[in-house]
Structure 1
Amino acid sequence: MNTLANTLFGNLISFIRRILFCILSVGPIPNHVAFILDGNRRFAKKLNLPEGMGHRVGFQSLISVLRYCFDLGVKYVSVYAFSIDNFKRKPEEVQSIMDLMVEKFNEMVEEESIVYQYSVRVYIIGNLSLLSDNVRLAAEKVMKATSSNNKSNLIICLAYTSTDEIVHATQESCDDKWAKIQSSIDGEMMEGKREGCFVIKVADIERRMYMGVAPDPDILVRTSGETRLSNFLLWQTSNCMLYSPRALWPEIGFLHIAWAFLEFQRTYPYLEKKRKEL
């Protein structure tokens, strides 16, 4: 009896999901959705799970969310996986998360993974020099293995903060400008060009951002009901819809994603108008 009830309930959920997919597909679909994965530790504490289990359950939620997004036609999904500030946590907790990262990166290169089902190109961005060798090598492996995938994109922000990204991009822009000045022949450069060499434009910085691999996000979702950006994509979210469901990250489901998309479609004319004014 319980098996029959579970089957009927599953069929009902599947039917509702198909109906919502049809409704959402009528309106504009966001090109880029970003997520702050907040609440893994609180979820584990709430259910009295072993330390670290919340992140494992959270990874399964990420796979489900990626399926929903890619099925709906989203081209870019970004996730705030690990902040530079998170290195301040207990060493054993940091190590546990990094071990999980290596495990999941290795799973991504397997043929049956979601990466190959949806032809997802994976970018792992941030200050990767802060990572241990095994994590960095696993990250490089999955990026190389998926470099020819071309239908969808997953950007994993690891050892990342937006302020570090901005400083990095500014420093690279300055280094590039200085190199051009040094390579010029003294005394033969036109005065106008000389002045131009010292000018750093917004486009110069944006081109060197870690997030330069993707357009600015259309929706930023932070779970747990928090409305702080926590140093994530500060540069890129000036014209972005913010959505903060109260669910912890491992609790996020299809209805949360559907509601975010419906809200995006409702505010789409306003957001487009603001973008055109820039």
Structure 2
Amino acid sequence: MQTTSERSSNGILGSLGSFLRKCVFQILSVGPIPRHVAFIMGGNRRYARKQNLSETASYTAGFLALMSILKYCYELGIQYVTLYAFSIDNFKRLPHEVKHVMDLMQEKLQAMLKKQSILHSYGIRVRFLGDLKLLNDPLRLLAEEAMTATAKNSKMVLLICVAYTSTNEILRAVHGCCREKMEENPEDPMIVKVGDLERHMDTAMIPEPDILIRTSGETRLSNFLLWQTTYCYLYSPSVLWPEISLRHLVWGILNFQRLHPNLEQQKKKKLN
């Protein structure tokens, strides 16, 4: 149990940390703040081996890191945060590993829906992207419940990619386009334009990511948002996901601000 002096000291340190964070965010706000930041949360299992922890403990640490990152993004005014939570390819792992991750996601969703603290106090809307029919029924129903419960929140959108790969998203979008064209006029040649395809993507009506952060030093996209990251700044800090901190987010945004004029110029060339 903490003593009164220890609680007082922690309170002072917390207030000082909050003050310093606000100062850093004020400096960052002089430059362009990204609207959309995406994360590939790499390194949870390596963190478990490094710290001699169970995978359960490492994923719990990763979840706490995620809550901190969401808080920082909210305070910075970032409107969209996308997470690569579980790839379709991950279903090829050992059955007990897949079950463990599914159970953990279900547990965290239940906790968020029960407390609804971070979601509603921060005004976060949750959306799940991916081939959700691949999920087990309890997790899929919880995902649908979370989307319904937060549908009116508008301060930030949290996009969780689960049972997702970019190639699967594109394939489903093509199928959706073909069905739509057939319903409109089955006699006409089936011509699919880029705009048609984008309307059927999971990310329709969502701005493309400005920054994609992949922890653990990996520089692969791993079949994540391939269509949407053409003009996105890619940042690959060597830190493992449970170790990610404010300084990594700040450094990523500073680099984005430095490169922003060139990225915008490339986007304009695309439009022209």
Task: Output the TM-score relative to the length of structure 1.
Answer: 0.90
Aligned residue number for residue 248 of structure 2: 256
Structure 2, gaps ≥5 residues long: none
Distance 2:100 2:213 in 1: 25
Q: 1:146 to 1:112 in 2, by over 3 A?
A: closer
Aligned residue number for residue 235 of structure 1: 227
- The answer to whether the 8 Å contact 1:52/1:93 transfers is no
Which of residues 204, 212, 217 in structure 2 aligns to 1:220? 212
Equivalent positions of 1:77-116 (< 5 A) are 77-116=81-120
Equivalent positions of 1:53-72 (< 5 A) are 53-72=57-76
- The answer to whether the 8 Å contact 1:31/1:218 transfers is yes
Distance 2:14 2:73 in 1: 20
Which of residues 154, 179, 191 in structure 2 aligns to 1:199? 191
Aligned residue number for residue 132 of structure 1: 136
Q: Does 1:246 align with 2:250?
A: no
Which of residues 27, 32, 39 in structure 2 aligns to 1:35? 39
Which of residues 19, 23, 27 in structure 1 aligns to 2:23? 19
Question: Percent same amino acid at aligned positions?
Answer: 52
Residues 208-217 or 79-88, more deviating: 208-217
Which of residues 254, 261, 266 in structure 2 aligns to 1:269? 261
Q: Which amino acid aligns with 2:22?
A: R
Q: Does 1:120 align with 2:124?
A: yes
Q: Which amino acid aligns with 1:235?
A: W
What is the deviation of 1:27?
1.1
- The answer to whether the 8 Å contact 1:41/1:52 transfers is no
What is the deviation of 1:5?
7.3
Residues 128-168 of structure 1, C-alpha deviations (whole Å, 9 max, x = no match): 11110011001001001011111110000000000000000
Residues 267-276 or 151-160, more deviating: 267-276
- The answer to whether the 8 Å contact 1:76/1:154 transfers is yes
Pairs aligned (count): 266
What is the deviation of 1:268?
1.0
Residues 7-38 of structure 1, C-alpha deviations (whole Å, 9 max, x = no match): 66655544432221110111111000000000
Query: What RMSD over aligned residues (CA atoms) do the two structures have, in Å?
Result: 1.8
Q: 1:143 to 1:8 in 2, by over 3 A?
A: closer
Distance 1:6 1:46 in 2: 28
Task: Output the TM-score relative to the length of structure 2.
Answer: 0.92
Distance 2:216 2:77 in 1: 26
SS of match in other structure, 1:167? helix
Equivalent positions of 1:150-161 (< 5 A) are 150-161=154-165
Structure 1, gaps ≥5 residues long: 185-193
